[in-house]
């Protein structure tokens, strides 16, 4: 039986790279994201594997759209093996008193509320299908472990993802549902382009930071996704080797 994965935030960056890598490995990939044209671009980038990628435009913050996404997966694909809960966003770095309520709400809506809705739908789908079970992989980020200066909304949302991962891992045992988390540091993308120009450090300085190729993240997600349900990568940290994680803060 063909293995099927749902990837959110699949229109760019890590989501796109993982979609292409899993398609290359033979998976059928449901592509979720807000922008249909970006999902179509991901599909086109797969070249001869394009037929294995299925765009399913979805705003992960909208409960009705998320419900419709899982209904479409069940109707069109028949079953689901893995969900990569990847969609995320950020706002401009600043101290908490300078962060607007609207910026806070937007980051929490996407990174936490959206992740909850996707995990909720995944759990229900994996629990109800026959054979029962599957895997949820949450994108935590290095910020699920330690903060950057001026990152209250993003760091709070990503610390919460760790709680989501641990709870899903516990609740999923009775239904053969595994849950793991990948914490990623400084993957080269539009979001990390500023790293090479200099970003604020814990000591108040501004320094450039090394980045790594997103292909390494895609390989790591494929490895997590491909394990039998009797094995699980509970937490994985993958990062640019020389980035300031150890000792950060």
Picking from 40, 90, 32, 88, the residue whose alpha carbon sits closest to that of residue 65 is 32
DSSP 211-241: -B-HHHHHHHHHHHHHS-TT----EEEEE-T
Strands (E), 82-132: 82-85
Give the Å distances, CA to CA, from 35 to 56, 88, 113, 242. Answer: 10, 14, 19, 34
154 is catalytic: yes
Q: From CA 49, how far away is CA 51, in angstroms rounded?
A: 6
DSSP 4: E
Give the Å distances, CA to CA, from 88 to 7, 34, 155, 217. Answer: 12, 12, 12, 16
Q: Catalytic one among 20, 61, 154, 179? A: 154
Q: From CA 238, how far away is CA 156, in angstroms rounded?
A: 20
Picking from 151, 65, 142, 147, the residue whose alpha carbon sits closest to that of residue 103 is 151
The residues annotated with a catalytic role in the active site are 154
């Amino acid at each position: 039986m063909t293995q099927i994965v749902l990837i959110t935030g699949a229109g760019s960056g890590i989501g796109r790279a993982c979609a292409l890598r899993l398609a290359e490995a033979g998976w059928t990939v449901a592509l979720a994201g807000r922008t249909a044209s970006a999902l179509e671009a991901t599909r086109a980038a797969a070249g001869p594997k394009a037929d294995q990628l299925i765009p399913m435009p979805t705003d992960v913050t909208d409960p009705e759209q998320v419900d419709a996404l899982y209904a479409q997966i069940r109707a069109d694909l028949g079953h689901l093996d893995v969900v990569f809960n990847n969609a995320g966003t950020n706002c401009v770095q600043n101290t908490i008193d300078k962060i607007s309520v609207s910026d806070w709400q937007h980051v929490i809506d996407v990174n936490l509320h959206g992740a909850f809705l996707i995990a909720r739908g995944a759990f229900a789908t994996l629990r109800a299908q026959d054979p029962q079970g599957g895997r949820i992989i949450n994108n935590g980020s290095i910020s699920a472990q330690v903060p950057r200066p001026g990152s209250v909304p993003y760091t709070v949302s990503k610390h919460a993802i760790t709680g989501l991962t641990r709870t899903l891992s516990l609740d999923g045992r009775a239904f053969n549902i595994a849950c793991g988390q990948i914490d990623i540091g400084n993957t080269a993308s539009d979001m990390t382009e500023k790293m090479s120009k200099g970003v604020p450090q814990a000591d108040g300085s501004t320094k450039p930071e090394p980045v790594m190729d997103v292909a390494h993240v895609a390989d790591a997600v494929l490895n997590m996704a491909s394990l039998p349900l009797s094995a699980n990568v509970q937490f994985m940290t993958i990062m640019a080797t020389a980035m300031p994680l150890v000792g950060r803060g």
